[in-house]
Each structure stands twice: as C-alpha cells, then as structure tokens.
C-alpha cells in the first residue's frame, strides 16, 4: 500500500511525466505479492482491506502472520468485533475459487514463479497466528471458514496456548482441538476444502484429554452439534446459502435464547455452505 500511495502521489504531481519518443522505458511489476501482518492487530479497516482484495481477485504468494487478535478499540465494541472477525475469516478462507486469468494481477500459473505448483490458489500459503489472545468464539469462526475454504492449499497455524490460569487452559485447549478437528479433518472439510498441506507449530503440549476431544469430533456423525454442545434435534441436514443483507442475531441470553434487543449484524455478501436441519 505504501508503494501504491507513492505512485499515486507521483501521478498527481505536476512534474513532467512524458518521455521523448524512442526513449528506453522499463516497468517494474511487484508480483507475486506477499502480505505481511506481523504485529498488526485486527481492526475493522484491516478486515475491510482483506475483503476488498480477495473480492477483487488480487492474488498473493503468501499471507504472513495474520491474526484475529482484536485491537483495543475494536475489542470494546462486541458487535463490530463480531462483524470484523467474520469479515476477515470469510475473506481469507473464502469458499469461492477464483479464476487466475481474471485476476487483477498479471502473473499466471504457467509463469516460472509458479513452476513448482500446478493450479495455484488465490492466497498461496496462509500463515495464521492463533495464540491465547484470540477469543474462543473467533477461533470457532476461523475453523468453520477453513472447512469450506478454496483460497489456499497450504495452511500454517501457530498455536501458542498456555496461560498461567490452568482452568482456562483446560477449557480453551479443549475447545481449540474440537474446532481444529472440524476445520481441518472433518468429512465436511475433506469434501469442500482445497487444503492439501497443514502445519501446526508451537504446540506446547497435547494431553490425552485433548486427543480424545479431537478424535470425538472426527468420529461424530453430527460434528457441528458436538462442537457447539447444541443438539438441533432429528431432521434432514442440507447446505443452504444465507443471502446478503440477511439480519443475523448474534447475542444470546443466559438461557441460550436470542437477545432480541441487540442490533443484528447485516453482511453485504452471501454466506455459502450454511448447514441447516429441516
């Protein structure tokens, strides 16, 4: 973005831009691109930028150190935080597979930069930082998106989980392994996701309870319900699309009922592969 802004400033300036005829000219093409989010906390602006780039079919070789950890301002607004996280993970792990020949960038799979990989996907390699500062509900949103993602074949996730609160560790870790099992290895993920390579690193430890939790989701016939500890009753499961501009109720009271006095979240794009029972 800095380079783009500098070029924009140059074109807006009054300096001479035309070269004499037959003068030698060269063009530098900054491709393929790598987006590095090191030390960048999630804000509404970051989520919007990622959504815009992905929707406009901008291609990357790698997304580095991306995190759903909220900055202080966003963390103070529960509704905006929920919306921004959803916007981010739905973009980075979009379920739409885009055509490289229609990309905003000029390189294509047959170019030498892609010789080691046939049929590359839009975001190349995605590196996610999933540490203890990322909220439980946001890890769930991330893994739900990963299960249907068609933007990357290679995912690396840093899992720094330990805190001083042992009770928190047990609860958070148990949830995390459920979410990862669903997002990475469930039947739904194997059917819909384009992932081929997964690297999980910085895992402090994995207990027997973690392994049992992980395996339970893999063996479950209804992993979504088991993951959320919420039984929807008997019925036929099917995929649906949540249309854009549909109001989404996102807050619940202590009894698990929808809080109708809170403002809904309204997304300006559809949500595909929405699992429902009828």
- Provide the pLDDT confidence category of residue 74 given band limits of 50, 70 and 90: very high
The most confident of the ranges 2-11, 117-126, 146-155, 245-254 is 146-155
Tokens of 233: 């009753």
pLDDT in tens, 89-109: 999 999 999 988 788 766 554
**Cβ(252)–Cβ(259) below 8 Å:** yes
To the nearest whole number, what is the mean pLDDT of the chain? 82
Q: What domains sit in the chain, N to C, each tagged with a CATH number?
A: 29-229 (3.80.10)
Rounded distance, CA 31 to CA 53, Å?
A: 15
Place of tokens 């991330």: 142
Note the pLDDT of residue 134.
81
- Total-model pTM: 0.78
- Which stretch of 8-12, 27-31, 149-153, 265-269 has the lowest confidence by average pLDDT? 27-31
**Cβ(122)–Cβ(57) below 8 Å:** yes
Positive or negative: CA dihedral 72, 78, 84, 88: positive
- Which stretch of 65-79, 101-115, 246-260 has the lowest confidence by average pLDDT? 101-115
Note the pLDDT of residue 72.
92
Helices (H), the chain: 2-12, 44-55, 72-75, 78-92, 136-146, 166-180, 187-192, 208-219, 223-228
Rounded distance, CA 243 to CA 245, Å?
A: 6
Tokens of 258: 């929808």
Which has the higher per-residue pLDDT, 28 or 222? Answer: 222
**Cβ(88)–Cβ(161) below 8 Å:** no
Tokens of 118: 């046939």
For the chain, how far is it from start to end, CA to CA, in angstroms? 47
Percent of the chain past pLDDT 90, that is, above it, reads: 35
- Provide the pLDDT confidence category of residue 204 given band limits of 50, 70 and 90: confident
- Provide the pLDDT confidence category of residue 184 given band limits of 50, 70 and 90: very high
Q: Cis check for the bond before 36: say yes or no (omega within 30 of 0).
A: no
pLDDT in tens, 1-24: 666 677 777 777 766 666 666 666
Tokens of 145: 């998106």
Q: What average pLDDT does the segment 264-278 reach?
A: 76
Q: What average pLDDT does the segment 134-158 reach?
A: 92
271-277/237-242 β-pairing: antiparallel
Q: What average pLDDT does the segment 38-59 reach?
A: 92
Note the pLDDT of residue 255.
74
């Amino acid at each position: 973005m800095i380079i783009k802004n500098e070029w924009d400033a140059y074109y807006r300036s009054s300096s001479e831009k035309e070269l004499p005829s037959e003068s030698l000219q060269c063009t530098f093409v900054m491709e393929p691109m790598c987006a590095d989010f090191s030390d960048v906390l999630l804000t509404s602006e970051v989520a919007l930028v990622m959504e815009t780039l992905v929707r406009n079919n901008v291609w990357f070789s790698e997304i580095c150190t991306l995190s759903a950890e909220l900055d202080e301002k966003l963390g103070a607004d529960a509704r905006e935080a929920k919306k921004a996280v959803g916007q981010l993970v739905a973009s980075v792990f979009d379920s739409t597979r885009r055509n490289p020949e229609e990309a905003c960038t000029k390189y294509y799979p047959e170019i030498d930069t892609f010789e080691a990989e046939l049929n590359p996907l839009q975001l190349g390699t995605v590196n996610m930082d999933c540490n203890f500062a990322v909220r439980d509900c946001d890890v769930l949103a991330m893994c739900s998106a990963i299960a249907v993602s068609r933007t990357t074949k290679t995912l690396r996730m840093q899992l720094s989980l330990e805190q001083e609160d042992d009770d928190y560790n047990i609860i958070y870790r148990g949830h995390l392994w459920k979410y990862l099992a669903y997002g990475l290895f469930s039947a739904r993920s194997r059917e819909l996701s384009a992932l081929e390579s997964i690297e999980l690193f910085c895992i402090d430890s994995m207990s027997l309870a973690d392994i049992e939790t992980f395996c339970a989701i893999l063996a479950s016939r209804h992993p979504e319900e088991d993951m959320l500890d919420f039984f929807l009753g008997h019925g036929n499961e099917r995929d649906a699309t949540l249309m854009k501009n549909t109001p989404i109720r996102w807050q619940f009271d202590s009894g698990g009922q929808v809080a109708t006095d809170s403002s809904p979240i309204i997304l300006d794009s559809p949500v595909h592969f929405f699992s429902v029972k009828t």
